[in-house]
């Protein structure tokens, strides 16, 4: 059973009434104009980072790695088969999963936030599940990142999958962070999100 505080935070984050209390906003928006980000598909990624190894595995799968074949990511087209294609819908779905009576989601960290003009929903929990969804300024779904504890993607080549086009931005920190489960209060303090393209920073 989740606490009323955790439930109220989820409801308020997805625009549902939750009394007069609002979830605590961590790291407000910076002053001044925001930097503009960009979205990178495989073709744009090849131009932006000619040092990467980019291999087409199939019509729908592209493997992207550092030049020494490490830090690989499987890129696939964006789909929305489950019908949840906006940040509001995703948070509403998460709210139901968090409080359902049978097999509720085990949440070690979840939050919404912003980075440049993008919005995101981040989740860590269940059994070795890491999922992050990115949205444009209007809240429409543009990318999803998944990682597991084994090499599940591109025919066993990597444990990380990027679906859609990858957000890229020079802004150093996320902002407007709202924790969605009670165990995620560290988010926005010492738990900054790692920008996707840092996957390809050489050690």
Looking at residue 20, its pLDDT comes to 34
Q: Tokens for 84?
A: 């949840």
Residues in the chain: 203
CA–chain centroid gap for 164, Å, is 12
pLDDT tens digits, 104-115:
777 878 888 888
pLDDT tens digits, 52-103:
999 999 999 999 999 988 899 999 999 875 666 888 888 888 888 888 878 7
Q: Give me the domain span that covers residue 185.
A: 4-200
pLDDT tens digits, 128-179:
678 889 998 888 889 999 888 899 999 999 999 999 998 998 887 788 888 8
Q: pTM for the full model?
A: 0.76
Where residue 28 falls among pLDDT bands split at 50, 70, 90?
low
Q: Tokens for 73?
A: 């990511």
- How many folded domains does the chain comprise? 1
| 23 or 120, higher pLDDT | 120
CA–chain centroid gap for 58, Å, is 25
Give strand pairing partners of 114. 119, 175
Please give the average per-residue pLDDT across 1-27, as a whole number.
41
Cα(123)–Cα(132) distance, integer angstroms: 6
Looking at residue 190, its pLDDT comes to 47
Q: Tokens for 56?
A: 């087409």
Q: Tokens for 177?
A: 């962070």
Q: Is the pLDDT of residue 16 over 50?
A: no
Cα dist. 167→117, 161, 194 in Å?
Answer: 10, 14, 12
What is the C-alpha end-to-end distance of the chain, expressed in Å?
Answer: 43
Q: Tokens for 95?
A: 């709210």
Looking at residue 155, its pLDDT comes to 94
Q: Tokens for 169?
A: 């931005």
């Amino acid at each position: 059973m989740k606490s009323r505080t955790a439930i109220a935070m989820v409801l308020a984050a997805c625009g549902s009434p939750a009394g007069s209390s609002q979830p605590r906003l961590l790291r407000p928006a910076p002053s001044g104009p925001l930097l503009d980000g960009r979205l990178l598909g495989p073709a744009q990624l090849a131009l932006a980072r000619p040092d990467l190894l980019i291999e087409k595995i199939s019509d729908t799968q592209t493997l992207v790695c550092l030049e020494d074949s490490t830090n690989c990511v499987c890129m696939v087209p964006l789909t929305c088969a489950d019908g949840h294609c906006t940040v509001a819908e995703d948070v509403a779905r998460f709210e139901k999963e968090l409080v359902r009576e049978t097999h509720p989601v085990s949440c070690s960290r979840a939050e919404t936030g912003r980075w440049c003009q993008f919005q995101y929903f981040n989740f860590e929990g269940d059994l070795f599940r890491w999922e992050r969804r990115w949205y444009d300024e209007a809240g429409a779904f543009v990318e999803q990142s998944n990682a597991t504890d084994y090499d599940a993607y591109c025919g066993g080549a990597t444990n990380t999958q990027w679906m859609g086009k990858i957000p890229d931005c020079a802004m150093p920190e996320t902002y407007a962070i709202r924790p969605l489960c009670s165990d995620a209060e560290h988010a926005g303090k010492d738990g900054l999100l790692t920008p996707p393209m840092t996957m390809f920073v050489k050690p």
